Amino acid sequence: MVKYNPSKRNTKIKSSNRNASKDLTRRYNKLVSLRRDSAGIISELCNPVDAVNRFLNLALEHIEENSQTRQFILESKVGVRKMATLLKRLDIYARKMEKEMRKLAEKHK
């Protein structure tokens, strides 16, 4: 017959709590670094995307209608617009991560 040993069980619970806490910390740190990286990428890419788009618009004003250069610029604008959309999505993703981080921080308390 196995005797119930409360101290052994407590040790087990403590160890599992410690593991969960470690896991939470690891997840939290991972999210923090992801959030920081994505914010950095957004910030760094926003400037060139914004400026390039504006320069392309200005260039369009200088270029004759129907010219091939105009077509190339219009194509480039499509690309820039895609990049802007990606940045927007990345920002939404970063915000979601921030929410999750807050939830984890609450749990950690």
The residues of the shown chain that bind other proteins, judged by CB under 8 A, are: 38-40, 42-43, 46-55, 57-58, 60-62, 64-66, 70, 74, 77, 80, 84, 87-88, 90-91, 94
Q: For residue 83, give the 3-state DSSP assignment.
A: helix
With contact defined as beta carbons under 8 Å apart, do 34 and 97 qualify? Answer: yes
Least Å from the CB of residue 91 to other proteins: 4
Name the residue nearer to other proteins (CB basis): 19 or 43: 43
DSSP string, 25-61: HHHHHHHHHHHHHHHHHHHHHHHHHHHHHHHHHHHHH
In whole angstroms, the minimum distance from the beta carbon of 28 to other proteins comes to 20
